[in-house]
Structure 1
Amino acid sequence: MKHITFYLDFISPYAYLAFEKLPEALLGHSYSVTYRPILFAALLKHHSQLGPAEIPAKRAWTDRHVLWLAQQNGVELQLPAQHPFNPLGLLRLALACSDSGLPSRYVCERIFRHVWQGGQDAADAQRLQALTAQLAPPHGVNDALARIQLRSHTDDAIAKGVFGAPTFEVDGKLFWGLDSLPMLKAYLDEDPWFGSAWAAADQVGQWP
């Protein structure tokens, strides 16, 4: 049985779509998943990249693209009232729901749907308070432990070469984005392509 580490930030609509589609994409496979919340903004800073919302044309395209992808994939999605928003409260809530800082699928589902269903303000204090009451985390959302775990998960992701969310790691291989799900499935199917082409890509010279 393969183990998948799913690096995610609730601010990412692509992470939400990938989260919803993962069980269907890997139907019939035996696997386990660990969900690791990370701070997407820290990845951008580390790799000296602008976020999609920092480029007006890219922001408009991203909004339209994710709405289209949701419709095509049969996933309920409404854009939140404010985006981007500060996801720290939601990330720390997810971490506070587990002693290890590794939230369950149920916890991730509740938080993702809090953001991406209903079209409301994901960071609204009253809504966050209600969600916290629903999930009843055993640890305080503002405890130092949640902050330390988020930093640790993010640093670990960066050390492994993660540059975006969602990213799936299995056997040391990284699969980035919603559109990597078919490729991830092929790897679990033991597609022979991975025996040669994956490593061959590392031998290509840098792009100009």
Structure 2
Amino acid sequence: MQRLIFHLDPISPYAYLAFEALPQALEGCSYWVEYRPVLFAGLLQHHGQKGPAEIAPKRAWTYRDVAWRAHQLGVPLQLPARHPFNPLPLLRLMLACAPAGQGPNRRVCEAVLHHVWRGDGADAEDPQRVAALTDTLAPVRDPAGVEVKAELRALTEAAVAEGVFGVPTVTADGRHFWGVDALPMLAAWLKGDPWFDGPAWDDAAAPRPGVQRA
């Protein structure tokens, strides 16, 4: 049984869609999933990038794209009242629902993602809604505590060190599969597609000379 690490941040609609699509996409595969919350903004900052919602034309396309993908998947999706928003309280809540170092289970991740993306367009940061979600999940640790905050920082830094640059990213045996549209590729690897046994994976990513922007 293969261990998969699912890096996610509830701010990302693609993380939500990949979470929903994962069981069907990997049907027939032998695996178990470790869900690992990371701060998407931290990944972007490290790699010197802006988020999709911070670039106006890309923001418009992103929202159309996720609406279409949700339609294709048959998954309910409604944009929250404000996006982007500050996901830190929700990320910390996810971690606080398990003892240190264990990570949230699928039920907790689902509840947080549905809070954002199935919230009938409500504000994901609304204090009353977050308080109600917290009561429902009954965290075993303080989401605002020093321990949980440090754990989120450590997970984000570890993701950066491992080469993760965005969410959702599923890591399997050192290979990173980024995005909801990478799930078929992940399934092929899990099913033993011989393409992954040859040099193609490494050769495709080999450095090549190119123009560098100043």
Q: TM-score, normalised by structure 2?
A: 0.95
Which consecutive aligned stretches of 4+ in structure 1 deviate over 6 angstroms post-superposition? none
Cα 1:175–1:207 shift into 2, 3 Å: farther
Of residues 178, 188, 191, the one that matches 1:189 is 191
Q: How does 1:57-76 map to 2 (within 5 A)?
A: 57-76=57-76
Deviations 1:88-124 (A, max 9, x none): 0000000100112500000000000000012110011
In percent, how many aligned pairs have the same letter?
Answer: 57
Deviation at 1:204, TM superposition (A): 4.3
Give the superposition deviation at 1:203. Answer: 2.8
- Inter-partner Cα distance in structure 1 for 2:45 and 2:145: 25
Query: Residues 24-46 of structure 1: CA distance to partner in whole angstroms, max 9, x if unpaired?
Result: 00011110100000000000000
Question: SS of 1:120's equivalent?
Answer: coil
Pick one of 195, 202, 205 that aligns with 1:202. 205
**3-state SS in 2 of match to 1:175:** strand
Within 2, Cα distance between the matches of 1:116 and 1:41?
19
CA distance in 1, matches of 2:210, 2:195: 23
Partner residue of 1:180?
182
Match of 2:168 in 1: 166
When the two structures are aligned, how many residues end up with a matched partner? 208
Equivalent residue runs for 1:117-196 within 5 Å: 117=118, 118-195=120-197, 196=199
- The amino acid across from 2:5 in the alignment is T
**Secondary structure at the counterpart of residue 170 of structure 2:** strand
Letter in 2 for 1:152: A
Matching residue of 2:55: 55
C-alpha separation between the residues in 2 aligned to 1:69 and 1:80? 17
What's the counterpart of residue 23 of structure 2?
23
Residue pair 1:101, 1:149 contacting (<8 A) in 2 also: no
DSSP-derived class of the 2:33 partner: strand
Matches for 1:75-114 after TM superposition, within 5 Å: 75-99=75-99, 100-114=101-115
CA RMSD of aligned residues (A): 0.9
1:142-179 Cα offsets, whole Å, 9 max, x none, are: 01111011001100100000000000000100000000
1:14 corresponds to which residue? 14
**Structure 1: any 5+ residue segments left out of the alignment?**
none
Q: Structure 1 pair 202/57, CA: closer, same or farther in 2 (3 Å)?
A: closer
